[in-house]
Structure 1
Amino acid sequence: MKTDSSKRAIALLCMVSLVAAMASACSGTEASHPPSNGQASAAPVTLSLIQPDGGRVWKDDNPVTKMIEKRTNVKLSVNMLPNNDFNSKYNALAASGEIPDMSRLGSFDYQKFVDQGLFLDVTPYLDQFAPNLKKNLKPELWELTKYNGKQYVIPYENAAGKEVPVIRKDWLDVLNMKMPTNLDEFEQIMKAFTYRDPDRNGKDDTYGIGTVNTYAESFMPIFGAFGISPGMFANSAPMNSYLKDNKIYPVAISSEYKAALSYIKNLWDAKVIDPEIFTIKSDQATQKAAQGRIGYFNAWWSFAPQTLGQQLKMKEIVPNADWEPVFPGIKGPEGKSGMLSFGNLGAVVAISSKTKNVEAILRFLDYLSTDEGWELSHYGIKGEHYSDMNSGRTPVGQKAFDEKWLDPLSQIVSRQELGEKVSASSKDPVQLENNRFIEKAAKYNLYKDVFYGMPLTDEQKSYGPDVAKYEEEMFIKFVTGKEPLSKWDEYVATWKRKGGEDLLNSKIKTYNTLKSGKVSPGI
């Protein structure tokens, strides 16, 4: 039998525990260290993750990811694939039906896999296991990524303007030329970059236009000057389109597209485009830019300041190199200019329907969405990799960043408002340099696909890859002269016959259903 004193001790202990629990529940703050299965001493749960590398590498002994694992009581098994190979390899993996616990996919790529039963509807679990995640991501993002009314993915917020055309400002200065503002000026500058020895090395070894990733990106601002953006080629879900006078027009067979092709072909004929642009691998193309062989490219905002400036240390190779955003843009014959809108969804994370670790996965993602988790996954360990977010990285942190292993998990959960807050108040010279490009990317006129975010149609799944492949093949043939633009009508007819027309009609049907509209095809 318990004594009176022991009973009072137990009662007092229970009361203290109750008060502590109530204080925690009423505080309204995020949980810094989300529990894992309610067992502080439980063995870590092994979770598998697949994602594009995003210019990063995975290190099993990374102290940052080790700390995240400790805070969330998990052990991560991560497969990071090169960006250019990710989709094809993931498609093969999905076809087998065996996917990791978590898949980080591009924007709406998940839609083609949902009907295969690969992904889990997380709706019933978010409130219980991921309250911070649910709260910290904007309601419109959750709504945008619903599929047939269910939530199969966790959205990753993106700034709609992400790419920046950049030019060698030091070459402009050497040649006594100004930043191009229209297509005529742009053409003259590209010729000067190619033929007037802008690096003053006495060699004929430079080109005006090059690439650092995919060739299609470098031509984006040119298409924008004609009022369109075809999006990225070789996409399994093509059909970037625009709405005009209650009709929808596919960009790839529009008159504006043809006019842009004609302009690009003239640049090709003038030999101001790197002749390897259609065949060179992205890492080789990046090295060529770092070596000072090209004077202009368009790519993700981070390529000039980070990939070339910080990681490849271009200034050590070419001391005078000065990449500057082409801003406010290159205007076309009707005064138009612009870039592709990537929309406000940058990626998603999907959870396997076969996973046995739903709670552990969501608690892990929930932690990454907290202020503490976001800061750790983006900047590393405070006091070791950075002193504070505004002052920038320590030498140790900068070395880790340059070696590309510091922040691979920063790609999993976004907190756009935190990133913007840090950027606005930063004192870090590196961040200030990044800001020059980030801010310009956000300020361009952006062309948004009228079908952005709409579910894939059966026709899109069936015909999309073939139509995209045909568009890419013919783009290269028209530009290089292997097919004359006089065959344009034949190209359009073939595009329709290969499934383009059926694809367009199916998407318009979906558009009218979801938006209660009455638009019709413009072809």
Structure 2
Amino acid sequence: MTKKTKSLVVVMAVTAMMLAACSGNGNNNGEQATAKPEATGNTNGNAGADKQEEPVTIKVLAQFGRADLTENEKAFFQKVNEALNIDFQLVIPPSSGYAEQLQLTLISGDVPDVVFFPSEQDEMFINAVRDGAVIPINSYLENSENLKNYSYEHSWEALKTMRDDNIYGVPRTSITRNDGFMVRKDWLDKLSIEIPADNEVTLDQFNEILRAFTFDDPDQDGKQDTYGVGSYVDANKVLLPVLVSELGHYGWQKSTDGSYPFMLPEYDAQSDVYKNILLYTQKLYAEGILDPDSPLNDSAAASERFKQGVTGVIRGFAGHVNAQEKVLKEIDPQAELTYLFVKGPEGKVQGTGYGTGIWGVWAVTAESEHPEKAIQAFDYMLSEEGWDYLYNGIEGVDYKLVNNEKVYNPDISRGIATSIMRRHNAPEFFLDPTKFTKEELDRVSPWVDKAVATVVTSMDKGYVPPAAREPQYMDYKLTWDELTTKIMLGDLPIDQLDKARADWYKNGGEQYLKEMNEYIQSLEN
């Protein structure tokens, strides 16, 4: 056992004892999951791997729900190992204790080749970059065409942590979507409401559906006990408006009045977009169309109200329609769902895509003896061959071919492998071929494709200006959230928005806008 391995084992043992003391019981103590490469064999596109050499070990500290690999997961990593002549080893601590494990690993001074960070804005990631524990990967990306082709350009910008040209990690991509609404199709049918074949409705048509679901007894039980739409509060207890992009809000975009080159509707006194967003939700709440429990519900509670037939419309991901429908049918066998997009002011479907397109970061550490191999592994997973294994699975393990059609093993799922890497332009990734019939895929795929195709990217790219971390700004942000929620609930008149904006500018907003505009302009240049 090498010195590095001994140190890693010590770190894992210490973490296991700490977690056992906290939780009392745990059956996942940071096990090492590995699929050993075969010594011989044809790899069918092995990226030039030399099978005469000893495999290069790449240890990866990762965050997943479990440490033990299923047989099909082992088979996937075996393919990666064979293609590159490596030994890709996952070190997976308990998911609930990952932050502690990560911190202990970093301060041990002896870390794996690759470490997973939950976010590019994670304080531990930023500190690791500053301390030199994480290294730039620019030179290794030069020959990584798959990583470059299948990751968002702005994801790479976000990983320039020190705001220079150095890139400090591989993005685990989150595909940006413009989610629409799940809608009770059986209610539509009972009320004789037809929807367009393209599942796109105007604002007036959407309003008609919401009113009918509220006042026309869509479940035909003779009671006034349903609501058109449900919403919920976020983690900060802020009520989410019913419509946002559908009323012309596309995040940070070029300003219309010139006071700043770029502006967000919330802070634009010359625009009525944000005012209309608040007023729309206020109107639905006042008329009893918006579920009155919305200001108290979190997302799980709102989803439960939808499942129980209290609300008929809820915003959600199109890829979840089938699973949601199956749950509904357990309660009401006649229940059916469809999916709707609401056209915006321009007469077409558009929705804001926020953030950096990153769902975690794979960072190469200064301890890695073969950083190029680590990057090759992630690049291979997005190659044609690697992606086929990752998404479709492996013949003879995940599926068998019957009349040239894939028939999946009903006892397997795609699991850990599909949580490592994603292609940014592959929305089909969301539709697990092991869980969908062909008919179900044919129904849902167009909705998922549209959700991805209609995204308008906010120009801030997920950047958080330093001004946002100033105490004065943070304190007023709480006040802002409270005021805007009260306006939506009708507890404050809409003209209070003007005063709230003026106070926002006085409490750090001016500096926030300055810094955000400087950042966006730097990307433009």
Per the normalisation by structure 2, the TM-score is 0.70
For 1:243, the aligned partner's letter is S
| SS at structure 1 position matched to 2:139 | coil
Q: Residues of 2 paired with 1:91 and 1:253: CA distance?
A: 39
Pairwise CA distance, 1:437: 1.6
For 2:461, the aligned partner's letter is Y
1:268 to 280, 285, 293: 285
Q: Residues of 2 paired with 1:95 and 1:282: CA distance?
A: 33
Q: Which residue of 2 aligns with 1:441?
A: 451
Pairwise CA distance, 1:260: 1.4
Equivalent residues of 1:391, 1:427 under 8 A apart: no
**Which shows bigger deviation, 253-262 or 483-492?**
483-492
| SS at structure 2 position matched to 1:198 | coil
Equivalent residues of 1:164, 1:440 under 8 A apart: no
For 1:496, the aligned partner's letter is Y
Q: Which residue of 2 aligns with 1:345?
A: 357
Q: Which residue of 2 aligns with 1:493?
A: 502
Q: Which residue of 2 aligns with 1:151?
A: 167
Q: Which residue of 1 aligns with 2:23?
A: none
For 2:71, the aligned partner's letter is P
Q: Residues of 1 paired with 2:376 and 2:452: CA distance?
A: 33
Q: Which residue of 2 aligns with 1:227?
A: 248
C-alpha offsets along residues 138-169 of structure 1, whole Å, 9 cap, x if unaligned? 69467544511011122355654442223222
Report matched runs for 1:355-394 at 5 Å.
355-356=367-368, 359=371, 361-387=374-400, 391=405, 394=408
C-alpha offsets along residues 51-100 of structure 1, whole Å, 9 cap, x if unaligned? 6xxxxx54614223322344432332336869xxx9xx969967996598
Are 2:191 and 1:175 equivalent residues in the alignment? yes
Are residues 430 and 189 of structure 1, via their aligned partners in 2, closer, same or farther at CA, if it must alter by over 3 Å?
closer
Report matched runs for 1:10-409 at 5 Å.
30-31=45-46, 38-40=53-55, 46-50=59-63, 57-58=65-66, 60-71=68-79, 72=81, 73-78=87-92, 101-103=114-116, 105=118, 113=126, 116-117=130-131, 119-126=134-141, 131=144, 133-134=146-147, 137=150, 140=153, 144-145=157-158, 147=160, 148-156=164-172, 160-179=176-195, 181-211=201-231, 222-230=243-251, 240-246=252-258, 247-254=261-268, 255-305=272-322, 307-309=323-325, 313-327=327-341, 329-332=342-345, 338-342=350-354, 345-351=357-363, 353=365, 355-356=367-368, 359=371, 361-387=374-400, 391=405, 394=408, 396=410, 400-401=412-413, 406-409=414-417
Q: Residues of 2 paired with 1:474 and 1:95: CA distance?
A: 42
Q: Residues of 2 paired with 1:136 and 1:336: CA distance?
A: 28
For 1:165, the aligned partner's letter is F
Equivalent residues of 2:233, 2:297 under 8 A apart: no
Equivalent residues of 2:60, 2:90 under 8 A apart: yes
Q: Residues of 2 paired with 1:467 and 1:31: CA distance?
A: 56
Are residues 265 and 324 of structure 1, via their aligned partners in 2, closer, same or farther at CA, if it must alter by over 3 Å?
same
Q: Residues of 1 paired with 2:481 and 2:406: CA distance?
A: 42
For 1:62, the aligned partner's letter is T
**Which shows bigger deviation, 216-225 or 406-415?**
216-225
Q: Residues of 2 paired with 1:361 and 1:67: CA distance?
A: 19
Mark the runs of 5 or more structure 2 residues left unpaired by the alignment: 1-41, 82-86
For 1:437, the aligned partner's letter is W
Q: Residues of 2 paired with 1:486 and 1:419: CA distance?
A: 42
Are residues 489 and 267 of structure 1, via their aligned partners in 2, closer, same or farther at CA, if it must alter by over 3 Å?
same
Equivalent residues of 1:229, 1:447 under 8 A apart: yes
| SS at structure 1 position matched to 2:314 | strand
| SS at structure 2 position matched to 1:150 | coil
For 1:31, the aligned partner's letter is N
| SS at structure 2 position matched to 1:326 | strand
Equivalent residues of 1:162, 1:342 under 8 A apart: no
Equivalent residues of 1:108, 1:347 under 8 A apart: no
Q: Which residue of 1 aligns with 2:517?
A: 508
Are residues 336 and 436 of structure 1, via their aligned partners in 2, closer, same or farther at CA, if it must alter by over 3 Å?
closer
Equivalent residues of 1:119, 1:350 under 8 A apart: no
Are residues 167 and 145 of structure 1, via their aligned partners in 2, closer, same or farther at CA, if it must alter by over 3 Å?
same
Pairwise CA distance, 1:210: 1.9
Pairwise CA distance, 1:467: 6.2
Equivalent residues of 1:164, 1:326 under 8 A apart: yes
Pairwise CA distance, 1:417: 5.6
Equivalent residues of 1:212, 1:282 under 8 A apart: yes
Are residues 145 and 488 of structure 1, via their aligned partners in 2, closer, same or farther at CA, if it must alter by over 3 Å?
closer
Pairwise CA distance, 1:499: 1.9
Are 2:466 and 1:458 equivalent residues in the alignment? yes
C-alpha offsets along residues 395-438 of structure 1, whole Å, 9 cap, x if unaligned? 51xx544xxxx333323322356666999x99822322331321
Equivalent residues of 2:201, 2:343 under 8 A apart: yes
Q: Residues of 1 paired with 2:378 and 2:105: CA distance?
A: 26
For 2:228, the aligned partner's letter is G
Q: Residues of 2 paired with 1:427 and 1:496: CA distance?
A: 53
Are residues 392 and 274 of structure 1, via their aligned partners in 2, closer, same or farther at CA, if it must alter by over 3 Å?
farther
Q: Which residue of 1 aligns with 2:419?
A: 411
Are residues 484 and 121 of structure 1, via their aligned partners in 2, closer, same or farther at CA, if it must alter by over 3 Å?
same
Are residues 93 and 211 of structure 1, via their aligned partners in 2, closer, same or farther at CA, if it must alter by over 3 Å?
farther
C-alpha offsets along residues 195-253 of structure 1, whole Å, 9 cap, x if unaligned? 332122445443221258959999677222321145xxxxxxxxx45432544322223
Pairwise CA distance, 1:316: 3.8
Q: Residues of 1 paired with 2:239 and 2:191: CA distance?
A: 22
Q: Residues of 2 paired with 1:126 and 1:36: CA distance?
A: 24
Equivalent residues of 1:478, 1:485 under 8 A apart: yes
Q: Which residue of 1 aligns with 2:493?
A: 484
Pairwise CA distance, 1:278: 3.7
Equivalent residues of 2:228, 2:311 under 8 A apart: yes
Higher RCO, 1 vs 2 (CA within 8 Å, ≥6 residues apart): 1
C-alpha offsets along residues 166-195 of structure 1, whole Å, 9 cap, x if unaligned? 322221121122448343443342232123
Please give the root-mean-square deviation of Cα atoms over the aligned residues, in Å.
Answer: 4.5
Are residues 380 and 416 of structure 1, via their aligned partners in 2, closer, same or farther at CA, if it must alter by over 3 Å?
same
Q: Residues of 1 paired with 2:497 and 2:292: CA distance?
A: 24
Pairwise CA distance, 1:271: 2.1
Equivalent residues of 2:184, 2:338 under 8 A apart: yes
Q: Residues of 1 paired with 2:92 and 2:228: CA distance?
A: 40
